């Protein structure tokens, strides 16, 4: 047995601290009455109160939710069929398909953003919420497909064969055996698509038109204009929502594991 | 024959929705970048008629070599530092007790889910001239009250490492977890020193994870735009910032397009190399797979 060095452990916890320290400071500062955050001016909820009366933030939130809802719906459908196709068939077509699904995962957002902007300009499509939804579907499909594919590769393939041997046709097998098994993958992929869409700034910024300001675009313009305490409060709310979503996902996957063990 | 045709029809039925969508909204727009690089701009901020070489020739701007050089240098530096930090972290996580391992993995994944913009803004607040860190450093007499923490190349580098670390740790963790540590014991039983055993057995053993992590960090870095924009100054501009400037400030879309074409070419070289290696042994980790 090798003697364990302490360095990796210390480094890990230091880096984890490095991950959370700025976020923690931001949440603390959202309750700070002092404007600059360098010193503690007493506990306050006034920044949160100001948020509730800011009309443009509410509008941006509604836009973000609309875009995320439709983008999640469409990309979950497309991503799930893509994963089933990639899993079921092999060959030249699927190799090409896999490349097309994989490459958007690694292409920098700014390239997706500028190329979609130029595409819409070339087709003379007016920029707005529909173009934003199309852009979001494009980068979400790949994530959903990968999530469902991971699930498909994990389960026991013999179940499908058993179903077919017992006389079920492909459609019946898909509906009654395959879909229930990959359902957690679909849910996870959908949640991933939803958070990616809600959080996306770069691509949205490029394809946004007048009247399609989403929450990240609103936050960005607030960062530029410099109303720091308000962004602190808004960010803290968004962080809380994200943590809640992560907890739900954890809970779903834990339950799933338990079910599969019994 | 008939059965084969039905089979093919079924395959196309399942494949075509995503295939067509991605061809139309991903492949075609990427090709359009190259086409529009040969178009003139029009005064209204759109794309003019006819074809021209003027746009490509305008890339000979004397500032560009420096900006492109800086982009590559900063991206390479971020990748190296991120990987050097991530290997021991991935190692530690993979070799911890299950409950600790799950906790540390969750803590690594959470930043991946939280808004990128908020995490960068959090740094801006920390490093702000009236912020806590500046006050603490001045108090300890480590820096003078006049010095700036924000808007410097070092700041951009640090925040880039901060945002990229989870993307390197996760694929590396997947690789370390699969590594058979019995091999290290074997090497040491055969007389190799600890360092030698790790360098010549462990590092090649997680080669795929390293390659995957390298790509996951390097490519987004080349495309950085928000980080230099929010925490960087004029001497930390990267290609992404110039593309955004040409798009939103000058409204010269063909020029932005030509720059994007340059970035696409720079980025596709490592990507092609990686995909070629990937085809031989499938199942390398993508962050999406790790998270779910």
Integer distance in angstroms from the first to the last C-alpha of chain A?
A: 36
Rounded to an integer, the average pLDDT of B231-236 is 84
Rounded to an integer, the average pLDDT of A127-143 is 94
Rounded to an integer, the average pLDDT of A136-145 is 95
What percent of chain B lies above the pLDDT cut of 70? Answer: 92
Asked if the C-beta of A45 comes within 8 angstroms of chain B's C-beta atoms, the answer is no
Integer distance in angstroms from the first to the last C-alpha of chain B?
A: 41
Cα radius of gyration rounded to whole Å, chain B:
24
Separation of alpha carbons B211 and B290, rounded Å: 16
In the numeric block, the tokens 């941006």 are attached to: A60
Rounded to an integer, the average pLDDT of A238-250 is 83
Tens-place pLDDT, residues A184-216: 889 889 988 998 898 899 999 999 988 889 999
Which SS3 state, helix, strand or coil, does residue A155 take? coil
Residue to mutate among B115, B180, B215, B280, with most A CBs inside 10 A, is B115
Count of positions (residues) in chain A? 262
Any residues with CB less than 8 A from the CB of B70 and at least 6 apart, and which?
Answer: B153, B236, B237, B238
Per-residue confidence (pLDDT) for residue A97, from 0 to 100: 93
Residue in A11, A25, A85 closest to B11 by CB: A85
Residue in A16, A23, A112 closest to B119 by CB: A23
Q: How confident is the model at residue A245 (pLDDT cuts 50, 70, 90)?
A: confident
Tell if the CB–CB gap between A116 and B126 is shorter than 8 Å: no
Tell if the CB–CB gap between A114 and B33 is shorter than 8 Å: yes
Written as one string, the DSSP assignment of B34-83 is: HHHTTS-B-TTSSB-SS--SHHHHGGG-TTHHHHHHHHHHHHHHHHHHHH
Tell how many helices (H) and how many strands (E) occur in chain A: 12, 0
Which is more confidently placed, B109 or A115?
Answer: A115
Range of the domain at B260: 64-291
Average pLDDT, chain B: 84
Asked if the C-beta of A115 comes within 8 angstroms of chain B's C-beta atoms, the answer is yes
CA distance A247 to chain B (A): 10
Count of positions (residues) in chain B? 292
The pLDDT of residue B236 is above 60: yes
Asked if the C-beta of A188 comes within 8 angstroms of chain B's C-beta atoms, the answer is yes
Tell if the CB–CB gap between A23 and B114 is shorter than 8 Å: yes
Asked whether residue B8 is domain-assigned, the answer is no
Tokens matching residue B103: 């906790």
Residue in B15, B23, B32 closest to A119 by CB: B32
Rounded to an integer, the average pLDDT of A143-154 is 89
With contacts defined as CB-CB under 8 Å, which chain B residues touch A1? 185
Residue in A36, A141, A199 closest to B18 by CB: A141
Per-residue confidence (pLDDT) for residue B281, from 0 to 100: 47
Q: How confident is the model at residue A261 (pLDDT cuts 50, 70, 90)?
A: low
Task: Count chain A–chain B contacts defined by CB atoms under 8 A.
Answer: 268
CB environment B231-260: b (16+ within 10 A), e (fewer): bbeeebbbbbbbbbbbbeeeebbbbbbbbb
CA distance B205 to chain A (A): 18
Residue in B19, B47, B92 closest to A100 by CB: B19
CA distance B200 to chain A (A): 16
Residue in B12, B117, B216 closest to A219 by CB: B117
Burial class (CB in 10 A: 0-12, 13-18, 19+), A236: buried
Q: Are B131 and B51 in contact (CB under 8 A)?
A: no
Q: How confident is the model at residue B130 (pLDDT cuts 50, 70, 90)?
A: confident
The pLDDT of residue A166 is above 70: yes
With contacts defined as CB-CB under 8 Å, which chain A residues touch B26? 100, 103-104, 112, 138
Residue in A119, A185, A250 closest to B28 by CB: A119
Give the CATH number of the domain where residue B129 resides: 1.10.3720.10
* Chain-centre distance for alpha carbon A117: 21
Residue to mutate among B92, B118, B124, with most A CBs inside 10 A, is B118
Tell if the CB–CB gap between B25 and A138 is shorter than 8 Å: yes
- What is the domain class of A46-261 according to CATH? mainly alpha
Rounded to an integer, the average pLDDT of A8-16 is 89
Q: ∠ CA B240-B246-B251 to the nearest 5 degrees? A: 145
Tell if the CB–CB gap between A142 and B117 is shorter than 8 Å: no
Q: How confident is the model at residue B154 (pLDDT cuts 50, 70, 90)?
A: confident
Per-residue confidence (pLDDT) for residue B283, from 0 to 100: 44
Written as one string, the DSSP assignment of A132-150 is: HHHHHHHHHHHHHHHHHHH
With contacts defined as CB-CB under 8 Å, which chain B residues touch A18? 162
Residue in B29, B117, B220 closest to A108 by CB: B220
The complex scores an ipTM of 0.87
Tens-place pLDDT, residues B63-105: 888 898 999 999 999 999 999 999 999 999 998 998 899 889 9
Residue to mutate among A7, A17, A29, A114, with most B CBs inside 10 A, is A114
The pLDDT of residue B8 is above 60: yes
Closest CA to B59 of B218, B234, B252, B233: B252
Asked whether residue B183 is domain-assigned, the answer is yes
Separation of alpha carbons B238 and B228, rounded Å: 7
Per-residue confidence (pLDDT) for residue A140, from 0 to 100: 95
CA distance B252 to chain A (A): 11
Tokens matching residue A210: 């007048």
Closest CA to B41 of B283, B257, B198: B257
Asked whether residue B184 is domain-assigned, the answer is yes
With contacts defined as CB-CB under 8 Å, which chain A residues touch B125? 22, 25-26, 29, 37, 228, 232
Rounded to an integer, the average pLDDT of A61-86 is 95
Q: How confident is the model at residue A38 (pLDDT cuts 50, 70, 90)?
A: low
CA distance A106 to chain B (A): 7
The A residues from 68 to 107 touching B (CB cutoff 8 Å) are 77-79, 81-82, 84-85, 88-89, 93-94, 96-97, 99-107
Task: Tell me the pTM.
Answer: 0.86
Tokens matching residue B216: 């996951």
Asked whether residue B255 is domain-assigned, the answer is yes
Tell if the CB–CB gap between B257 and A118 is shorter than 8 Å: yes
Tokens matching residue B44: 């209204």
Tokens matching residue B199: 């360098």
Tell me the domain boundaries of chain A. 46-261
Per-residue confidence (pLDDT) for residue B288, from 0 to 100: 38
Tell if the CB–CB gap between B32 and A23 is shorter than 8 Å: no
CA distance B277 to chain A (A): 13
CA distance A171 to chain B (A): 11
Q: How many domains does chain B have?
A: 1
Q: Which of A131-135, A152-156, B145-149, B264-268 has the lowest mean pLDDT?
A: B145-149
Tell if the CB–CB gap between A100 and B223 is shorter than 8 Å: no
């Amino acid at each position: 047995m090798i003697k364990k060095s302490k360095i990796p452990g210390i480094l890990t916890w230091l880096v984890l601290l490095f991950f959370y320290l700025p976020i923690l400071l931001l949440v603390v500062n959202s309750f700070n009455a002092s404007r600059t955050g360098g010193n503690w001016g007493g506990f306050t909820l006034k920044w949160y109160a100001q948020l509730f009366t800011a009309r443009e933030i509410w509008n941006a939130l509604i836009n973000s939710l609309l875009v995320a809802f439709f983008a999640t719906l469409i990309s979950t459908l497309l991503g799930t069929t893509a994963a089933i196709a990639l899993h079921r068939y092999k060959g030249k077509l699927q190799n090409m398909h896999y490349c097309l699904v994989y490459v958007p995962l690694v292409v920098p957002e700014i390239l997706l953003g500028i190329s979609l902007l130029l595409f819409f300009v070339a087709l003379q499509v007016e920029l707005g919420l529909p173009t934003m939804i199309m852009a979001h579907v494009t980068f979400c499909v790949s994530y959903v497909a990968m999530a469902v594919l991971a699930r498909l590769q994990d389960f026991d393939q013999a179940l499908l064969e058993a179903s077919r041997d017992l006389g079920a046709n492909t459609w019946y097998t898909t509906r009654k055996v395959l879909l229930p098994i990959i359902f957690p993958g679909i849910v996870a992929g959908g949640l991933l698509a939803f958070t990616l869409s809600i959080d996306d700034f770069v691509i949205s910024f490029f394809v946004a038109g007048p009247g399609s300001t989403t929450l990240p675009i609103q936050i960005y313009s607030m960062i530029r204009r410099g109303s720091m305490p308000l962004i602190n409060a808004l960010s803290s709310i968004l962080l809380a929502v994200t943590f809640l979503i992560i907890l739900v996902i954890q809970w779903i996957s834990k339950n799933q594991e338990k079910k599969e063990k019994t | 024959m008939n059965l084969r045709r039905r089979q093919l029809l079924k395959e196309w039925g399942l494949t075509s929705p995503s295939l067509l969508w991605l061809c139309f909204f991903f492949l075609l727009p990427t090709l359009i970048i190259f086409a529009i690089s040969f178009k003139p701009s029009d005064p209204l901020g759109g794309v003019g008629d006819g074809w021209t070489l003027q746009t490509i020739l305008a890339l000979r701007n004397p500032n560009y070599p420096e900006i492109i050089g800086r982009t590559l240098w900063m991206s390479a530096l971020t990748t190296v530092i991120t990987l050097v930090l991530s290997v021991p972290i991935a190692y530690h996580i993979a070799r911890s007790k299950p409950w600790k391992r799950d906790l540390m993995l969750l803590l690594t994944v959470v930043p991946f889910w939280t808004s990128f913009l908020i995490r960068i803004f959090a740094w801006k607040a920390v490093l702000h001239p009236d912020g806590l860190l500046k006050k603490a450093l001045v108090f300890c007499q480590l820096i003078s009250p006049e010095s700036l923490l924000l808007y410097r190349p070092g700041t951009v580098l640090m925040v880039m490492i901060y945002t990229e670390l989870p993307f390197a740790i996760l694929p590396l963790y997947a690789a370390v977890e699969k590594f058979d540590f019995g091999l290290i014991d074997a090497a040491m039983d055969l007389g190799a020193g600890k360092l030698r055993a790790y360098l010549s057995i462990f590092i090649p053993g997680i080669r795929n994870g390293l390659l995957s992590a390298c790509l996951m960090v390097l490519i987004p870095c080349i495309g950085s735009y928000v980080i230099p924009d929010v925490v960087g100054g004029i001497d930390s501009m990267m290609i992404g910032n110039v593309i955004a400037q040409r798009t939103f400030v000058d409204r010269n879309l063909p020029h932005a397009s030509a720059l994007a074409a340059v970035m696409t070419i720079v980025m596709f070289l490592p990507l092609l190399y990686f995909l070629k290696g990937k085809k031989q042994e499938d199942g390398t980790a993508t962050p999406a797979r790790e998270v779910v």
